[in-house]
Structure 1
Amino acid sequence: MNEGDDQENGVFSDSFEENLENFNPENDPFDIEDDDEPPLEPRFKYERLKGEETMPFLKTATFTSIDLHDKFIAIGTANGSIYVLDHHGYGNFDSVPILKPHRCPVTKVKFDETGSYILSCANDGKLVVSGVGNDKLCCTVNIQVMPKSISFAPDFIRPQSGHCFVMGERNLILYEKRMFQYKARNLYSGSERDGFINCCSWNDNLIAFTNDTGTRVYERGVEKIITSVQPSHDVDRVRSSRSPPKHMWMPDNVLVIGWADTVTVIKIKDVDGVRRGEVHYIFHVSMFVCGISYIPESGTENTELFLIGLQMEGEDCMDDSMSVMSTVTTLTALESSARTELKTCVIRPLGLKEYELQSEDVIESVKLSPHTLPSMIQGLGIPYLRTYFILTNKNIIMAVPYGPEDGIRWRLKYNLYDEAFDMAKHHADLLAKTEHSQMNVGRMIIGGYLAGKRAKAAASRLPYICGESKEEWEWASEQFEKVRLCTLLADVLPDGSPTLEAKTYEKVLLACLFNNVGQFRKLVKRWSPDLYDTSEIIKSVQWRLQTITKSGDAKLIEEHESVLMDSLAHLYLYERKYENALKILMSCKDFQIFNVIDKHQLFDRVRDQISELMDINTDRAVKLLLDNADSVEPTFVMEKISRQPKVQLAYLTKLMSRNEGAEFADKAVQLYAEYDQKKLLPFLRKNVDYNVNKARKLCSGKGYIEETIYLLAKSGNHYDAVKMMVKEYGNIEKVIAYCKDQNDPDLWVHLLEVVAEFPAHFAQLIIEASNCLDPLLIMEKLPNNTDIPDLSDALEKLLLDYTNYAELQQCCYESTLNDLNVLTQNLLATADESVPVTVSTKCAVCLEIIINSSLEHKKFNDIKVFKCGHIFHISCTAEQTDRRQSMKMVEDRGKCTACSDQIEQIDI
């Protein structure tokens, strides 16, 4: 049960240990301190050609030159031979025999664009074009100088192209085939001061060449030099023979020049039909450039450069060119005893003189002599294949991009666990069957954190590493159990999707029970009881409680007992042992007992413990009682809490807010008067079920003035209420307002009699009562032989108000008479008006036109006209009158029957 109990030693399972030897603390990866900043991540890995095992010459020959094609490698050696191999170092010398064009070391070799021919030179004064499975254009050109650089024309193999190539010594000479021999033409003439042309390259119709005075670009067609770039280092101190320049053409006619410790990037642009070069970047790097290539990106502006170079051991990031020069001087004199290192780096240009170092590697597998010069190292690459080759006198190293396994291995070495797992997850399908699969890397990371005593970090990453894999979660829990840190799994262990074995959850619960009781309680409340065996956990909690109680440690008991009891109550609830759970919650006075009762409908089990529930939380207990009103009578509740008057008051307040408990109204008045006077008056006003006389006596006995006055008024004893208000308030305004509300003239008279004893208020009363009483009555009630303040002003206002009132009545009377006269005159004028009869006027009864020539003359003359505007035939009115009389309706013959009908309809 206890994590402190003895467990098996070891962190990993046997099979896991077999695959992860590097987790041994005596080995590397996870012993590196996280505080140490890791170096830049390598972009390439370096390996010797696989053909070394089958090609003996690769172990014995001295290499002097190299060139690459998409299909082959051409290697020149010190005995004048040239070997053509594939990119892995294998050669088929039956199909492509060893070339032996020279009798001394081959200084330069160059493939044409198709890989069909190789151009080579040496100090024997020969330029040799050799075929690779083709001998049509093979030739040898004897010259009188020792060539330093060579290059094929891009269209060398194309017919009618002239099959040109160039050679650089002091001069740059173009060789063009004419019939049976090559004709030489001088493109550039250099002096002795200019030095040798140690590098030349041909791209499109542009020929770039470099001597000690700088790099020039010659354009075929216009046959002139279109740009010249001077060196940015001290050529006198770093001779080209010791650190020769290197060229590389990139897309869009971009030329990269690596020379000594500088890198220059120029671009040939067409401006108004004239080509010229522009310098885009000039960098100083921390090594002597021996080879240069690039890594293709989305655009040339962001293209990364791959540099191969030589550096003195210990020289870190030498930005000061003078430091570099002093190093070179020592090398040139062959006096340096310092060890040199072969390095590669990847840089990304940012500005004219700024770049960002992307990666930097020291090729430790190649051991160099202290006298190794940059001219002894060569480097080339095939950018679109992202494959690069480095040549020393005795070694050929191939640099290939890091694969996912290499990247993961490097990240694990430097404890970059998150990055390692991200890469493993991204390449999950590719690495599925390798030792660096997503599962294995995840286990390595967890093991690394645990071995490095960073278990919290390991636990926090488990959801991401294990995901929804039940197997991985089970494995991880075993590792944490072995190092006795299962409590760290409490916050991360999944309780669904996936659902683990019950023993896994039980291990974590038991670990928390003995080490972190707070966490244990959280898990008990959060985890579903279906995940583990609750009966076993209950036994463990009971045993733990007994242990704590027996220990006699007061602090331990105080900190742990209540928490464990709460947890035990929840466990009982899971097993539906409600009696045990309620007993614990009641003893602990836990507020959660109300939620438990509501959720599981357990009110019947606690109805006899109402007072205890009230002690826990009165409001919640009252709500519980009201919600279960059907199960318990208010009389029973009031009896149970009879010794708790305040609780009774709270209960009655809630009960009566639901318009229930009318029989306890008098009790409520008593409790409010005793414990909460502020709510007494609102209750008296709202409730009508209490005994008014009892309540008045109670309030009077306790000296509650407002309540007593209200009850006097409610019982109809307004005189006593007014008298008490005058005596107690000392403020006549409230009394006046009360009398206005009652609207009783006799009450005003009584008020005058009462206020007569308080002359200070009489003047104000006179003014207020002037609108309600006869002034003469007010004058009669004036006390004799009493000094009344402001009496004269009050009487003056009284008389003025009465005068105004009398005048207003007179004005109203006169206004009414005038209105009556006007209305009468209007009525008479209307009655005198004539009633027009036109050709379209109809009888109000038969609706026939009154004036109609087709009718009989007699009927035309017999009409009756009323002042209301209705016109009838006399015969029609007679018929209508007879009908109404037959219906026993009284009809006035002088009255308009149409108007009478309308009135009758309205009355109905």
Structure 2
Amino acid sequence: MAEVGVSDSQHTIHTDEMCDESDEEVEPKLTYERITNDVSAILKKESATCLAVHSRFIALGTHLGKINIIDVLGNRVNDRELCLHKTSVNQISIDEKGEYLATSSDDRIVIFGLYSSDHNYHNSFDRPVRAIAIDPYFRRPGGGKRFVVGEADKIILFEKTFLARYRTTILQQSRGHIRNIRWRTQYIAWASDQCVKIYDIEDRVVITYIDREKDNDVQRFRPELFRCHFCWKDDRTLLIGWADSIKICCIKQKQNNELPRRYVELTASFNVEFGVCGIAPIESKLVVLCVNKVANELDNAYNCRVEVIEPIGTDNYEEISSDILSPKSFNSCRSNDYHVECLPEEGLYLILCPKDLIVAKPREEDDHVTWLLEHQQYEEALEVVKYNKSLKKHNVQSVGSVYLKYLLEQSHHSQYEKAAQLCPTICGADRDAWENEIVRFKRIDQLRVVAPYLPRGPELVLNPAIYEIVLKEFLEMDSAGFLRTIREWNTNLYSIPTIVKATLDVLTIDPKNERLLEALAELYSREGKHDKALTIYKDIGNKTQVFDLIRKYGLYSKLQEQLEVFLQLNADEASKLLIENQETIPVELVVKKLKSKPQLLLTYLDHLVHKDPDVCAVHHGLLVELYAQYSSEKLMAFLRSSNHYQLEKALDICRKKNLFNEIVFLLGRMGNTKEALQLITDKLDDINHAIEFCKEHSDAELWEDLIKYSMNKPCFIRVLLRNIGTHMADPIALIHRIPEGMEIDGLNEALVKILRDYNLQSELEDGCRRVLVSDCYSLLQKLNRQQRRGVSIDDDYLCQGCQRKIFAREIRYATDIVVFNCRHIFHESCLLATKGEFVCVICSAQQKSEFMIS
């Protein structure tokens, strides 16, 4: 076979009012190939006139009256060339089994058995027979051996009789010449120049007729130019294409049994923008061979094309694709020279013109992918090959390689990034594919983009040289990316000495590049040269990596050697490391080394005292001095929390620094509350502080001193009145001491507050008293209930006095029983005999002995 070129498809939607053509290119639905081999030789000598297809072979009728039996590749089957007619073959019909042919021409009709001559038959007519159809069940036993012919305007049924002769019956005489007949199961459809009729051979009745469209241009669509084309879609659906009209007919069963028992429903009817030369079904759509309505003015020929359309509703359609064909000698063809036959179940559509035979097939997935690639729809093509396992021509790598090439040719970073993201999908675990794509990225200096997507194991690892050239591109063009990649990649992917040497070479040109220095430190660290790495981190001032490296590899000796340097680099992190490793680097050693650096020492001791105050208890006095000098805001909290410093020395330090709040606290802690209060009132002049101080120490003399100090200060008196109502036994005495005539803002409110506080205090005391009485009464009742409760005594209990069983067997020994709360049990007689009163002998003896011991 040879491929047949088609034009680009166009996508169009047709309605009753308008026909809008879209510029968007749409994928064709069919592929086309020219059938060659023996067909080429046949059509070189003769012209084809008709065609019939079967799943086993193709029957090709010629202008010279011959029937050629060929296969789908164009080869003659068993060199079969049947010379059955002397004039052009008009129509060929094949039975269901593919064993008998029925052919007609202007001279005669022939029934010919391909494998048996038992039922061969031929007959001549006075008028040309342009159509014939054989019973699909012709070969079936008892089937009647029937066929129908269209002699001019008559439909004649031939049936074989008992004596092996054919009986003829005129089924109907039509208006105009019969030009096409198709027989499917029990239904026969024929077309004349005026109408299409459907005949039910079972009921021997015409069940419908469909007239030709009345409004068509009679001259333009003359029968000799545009004959009726139809085919059976299934056993009950007939597709009709006539001039510029398409109809879909469906045979249905009536509810009653009146003849005809079936009727035909017209499910769709619409006009098209072309002349129909053949029609066939393809799934829910239609394949229509068509020509322009008007012949080409230059050569009086009709341009041929294949339309795939889909009916919409009952009166319009959507054009799915349109392919222009260029069969041989198409310039000399007329519309009635074209024929279409199909085998929908096999996906074959045969298109015949006098000098060419073309086969169309629904596009396979490989064809779909090819079309997508040709139209640069690479993403869609890649999605198809990813999920379709039946492809023969295309795969993920072949399509992906084309797509990557296209993306990399766009010279845009976003496209480079997209290409890099696709590499894992496209290359998968194929090492060669990866290396080929990396070469492409290398040519355009975009290895940095693909670096995050390179395979790094364990399933697949590339040649180390690949990773090295990627790192070198980072090294030369992107120092930040180089550092990031060094941290992300495992060292088994590349040679560390090779990358170290390359990094040192670049650093000779740019020695202050901190990112490259940091990357070099990372490489040294991975190579085991931690000292070099630590030196680089320290020199560039990398506060995080320095201490991570010391902690990770235990480089505490380096920390101890250069203690001040590391503390200056990051005092907090260094202090944490020192505290975590006190066994290696003792506290005393650190304090000794940092004596000359008090601020660094303070940072270290501050972290230490928060971690474990007792560890550095000996240095708490030093801490007081350091806090007072460099971080006085932390001193008060430390003074409150620690008990390991000398109060006098701490007080002296605070006096020198004029830290009055700390002095007040220390004086109060030393018991010198009067001086502390005087300092608050004289130096701080803070009445609230003074009140809190008095409340804290709860000393009546302190309150008296505060009152004396406040008597000449109205604002202090107002605050005192507001706060001491619940702290003084007699707030009225304070009020009497206020000098006469002194103006005090807010005095009324302060007095009201004193009364409210006093009232509240009284209510609280009263409430507490009621609660106490209630609880006492409840407990007394509970005690009474418990003591009145019965006590269970078993038969084997013994009297604590006589050591006999509590319960006597003989009535003469019976006596009352006394049980104490301590659960000791006595006979009443035994108890009276020893004490003369009801007292537990055992418990009273124990109490007496304890008293004597004490």
Query: What does residue 385 of structure 1 align with?
Result: 346
Deviation at 1:585, TM superposition (A): 1.7
Amino acid at match of 1:376: D
Please give the secondary structure, in 2, of the residue aligned with 1:535: helix
Query: CA 1:282–1:503 in 2, change beyond 3 Å: closer, same or farther?
Result: farther
Query: What does residue 34 of structure 2 align with?
Result: 47
Query: What does residue 277 of structure 1 align with?
Result: 264
Contact in 2 for aligned 1:165/1:175 (Cα 8 Å): yes
* Aligned mates of 2:774, 2:60 — CA distance in 1: 136
Contact in 2 for aligned 1:149/1:198 (Cα 8 Å): yes
Query: CA 1:246–1:818 in 2, change beyond 3 Å: closer, same or farther?
Result: closer
Indicate whether 1:584 and 2:536 are aligned.
Answer: yes
- The one of 829, 836, 846 equivalent to 1:893 is 836
The correspondence of residues 264-303 of structure 1 with structure 2, limited to 5 A, is 264-273=247-256, 274-282=261-269, 287-296=274-283, 303=284
Contact in 2 for aligned 1:46/1:363 (Cα 8 Å): no
The correspondence of residues 126-205 of structure 1 with structure 2, limited to 5 A, is 126-168=108-150, 169-178=152-161, 179-191=163-175, 195-205=176-186
Contact in 1 for aligned 2:486/2:522 (Cα 8 Å): yes
* Aligned mates of 1:281, 1:597 — CA distance in 2: 85
Deviation at 1:763, TM superposition (A): 6.5
Contact in 2 for aligned 1:295/1:384 (Cα 8 Å): no
Indicate whether 1:595 and 2:548 are aligned.
Answer: yes
* Aligned mates of 1:820, 1:509 — CA distance in 2: 87
Deviation at 1:684, TM superposition (A): 2.6
The correspondence of residues 211-360 of structure 1 with structure 2, limited to 5 A, is 211-229=192-210, 234=216, 236=218, 237-251=220-234, 253-273=236-256, 274-282=261-269, 287-296=274-283, 303-310=284-291, 327-328=292-293, 330-331=294-295, 335-337=297-299, 341-349=303-311, 351-353=313-315, 359-360=321-322
* Aligned mates of 2:210, 2:684 — CA distance in 1: 110
Amino acid at match of 2:65: G
Query: CA 1:626–1:159 in 2, change beyond 3 Å: closer, same or farther?
Result: same
Indicate whether 1:564 and 2:516 are aligned.
Answer: yes
Query: CA 1:285–1:519 in 2, change beyond 3 Å: closer, same or farther?
Result: farther
The correspondence of residues 705-716 of structure 1 with structure 2, limited to 5 A, is 705-716=660-671
Amino acid at match of 1:547: I
Contact in 1 for aligned 2:102/2:109 (Cα 8 Å): yes
Query: CA 1:815–1:452 in 2, change beyond 3 Å: closer, same or farther?
Result: closer
Deviation at 1:473, TM superposition (A): 1.9
Deviation at 1:515, TM superposition (A): 3.0
* Aligned mates of 1:815, 1:487 — CA distance in 2: 81
Contact in 1 for aligned 2:714/2:743 (Cα 8 Å): yes
Over the matched positions of the two proteins, sequence identity in percent amounts to: 26
The correspondence of residues 604-643 of structure 1 with structure 2, limited to 5 A, is 604-637=557-590
Query: CA 1:610–1:817 in 2, change beyond 3 Å: closer, same or farther?
Result: closer
The correspondence of residues 451-466 of structure 1 with structure 2, limited to 5 A, is 456=416, 458-466=419-427
Deviation at 1:356, TM superposition (A): 5.4
Deviation at 1:733, TM superposition (A): 4.9
Please give the secondary structure, in 1, of the residue aligned with 2:239: strand
Amino acid at match of 2:348: T
Stretch deviating more after TM superposition (112-121 or 418-427)? 418-427
Indicate whether 1:538 and 2:538 are aligned.
Answer: no
Query: What does residue 113 of structure 1 align with?
Result: 96
Contact in 2 for aligned 1:863/1:871 (Cα 8 Å): no
Query: CA 1:578–1:181 in 2, change beyond 3 Å: closer, same or farther?
Result: same
Contact in 2 for aligned 1:645/1:671 (Cα 8 Å): yes
Query: What does residue 831 of structure 2 align with?
Result: 877
- The one of 855, 873, 882 equivalent to 2:811 is 855
Amino acid at match of 1:78: H
- The one of 39, 61, 74 equivalent to 1:89 is 74
Query: CA 1:678–1:58 in 2, change beyond 3 Å: closer, same or farther?
Result: same
Deviation at 1:70, TM superposition (A): 1.1
Query: CA 1:135–1:522 in 2, change beyond 3 Å: closer, same or farther?
Result: same
Which whole-Å deviations, capped at 9, do the CAs of 1:801-840 have from their partners, x for residues lacking one? 999999999999999999999x99xx99xx9x9x9xxxx9
Indicate whether 1:665 and 2:633 are aligned.
Answer: no
Query: What does residue 511 of structure 1 align with?
Result: 473
Contact in 1 for aligned 2:237/2:248 (Cα 8 Å): yes
Query: CA 1:533–1:102 in 2, change beyond 3 Å: closer, same or farther?
Result: same
Query: Relative contact order: is structure 1 or structure 2 higher (C-alpha 8 Å, sep ≥ 6)?
Result: 1
- The one of 39, 42, 64 equivalent to 1:79 is 64
Deviation at 1:477, TM superposition (A): 3.0
Please give the secondary structure, in 2, of the residue aligned with 1:490: helix
Deviation at 1:134, TM superposition (A): 1.9
Amino acid at match of 2:556: F
Query: What does residue 187 of structure 2 align with?
Result: 206
Query: What does residue 60 of structure 1 align with?
Result: 45
Amino acid at match of 1:74: A
Amino acid at match of 2:115: G
Query: What does residue 369 of structure 1 align with?
Result: 330
Deviation at 1:382, TM superposition (A): 1.3
Contact in 1 for aligned 2:58/2:71 (Cα 8 Å): yes
Paired positions, count: 801
Query: What does residue 529 of structure 1 align with?
Result: 491
Query: CA 1:865–1:785 in 2, change beyond 3 Å: closer, same or farther?
Result: same
Indicate whether 1:473 and 2:473 are aligned.
Answer: no
* Aligned mates of 1:117, 1:295 — CA distance in 2: 27
| Structure 1 stretches lacking a partner, 5+ long | 1-35, 297-302, 311-326, 550-556, 882-891
Which whole-Å deviations, capped at 9, do the CAs of 1:540-573 have from their partners, x for residues lacking one? 2211222346xxxxxxx7xxx2222222222222
Stretch deviating more after TM superposition (335-344 or 268-277)? 335-344
Please report the TM-score for the alignment, with normalisation by the length of structure 2: 0.80
Contact in 1 for aligned 2:244/2:271 (Cα 8 Å): yes
| Structure 2 stretches lacking a partner, 5+ long | 1-22
Which whole-Å deviations, capped at 9, do the CAs of 1:237-280 have from their partners, x for residues lacking one? 32333222322222362222233344433322335255333333
Deviation at 1:509, TM superposition (A): 1.9
* Aligned mates of 2:120, 2:496 — CA distance in 1: 91
Indicate whether 1:725 and 2:680 are aligned.
Answer: yes
Amino acid at match of 1:685: R
* Aligned mates of 1:771, 1:784 — CA distance in 2: 22
Report the RMSD for the aligned CA atoms in angstroms. Answer: 4.8
Amino acid at match of 2:697: Q
Greater strand share, structure number:
2
Query: CA 1:864–1:702 in 2, change beyond 3 Å: closer, same or farther?
Result: closer
Query: CA 1:103–1:705 in 2, change beyond 3 Å: closer, same or farther?
Result: same
* Aligned mates of 2:445, 2:759 — CA distance in 1: 104
- The one of 737, 742, 751 equivalent to 1:782 is 737
Indicate whether 1:692 and 2:647 are aligned.
Answer: yes
Which whole-Å deviations, capped at 9, do the CAs of 1:692-744 have from their partners, x for residues lacking one? 34444444554544333323322222222333334566664554444333233
Query: CA 1:467–1:287 in 2, change beyond 3 Å: closer, same or farther?
Result: farther
Please report the TM-score for the alignment, with normalisation by the length of structure 1: 0.76
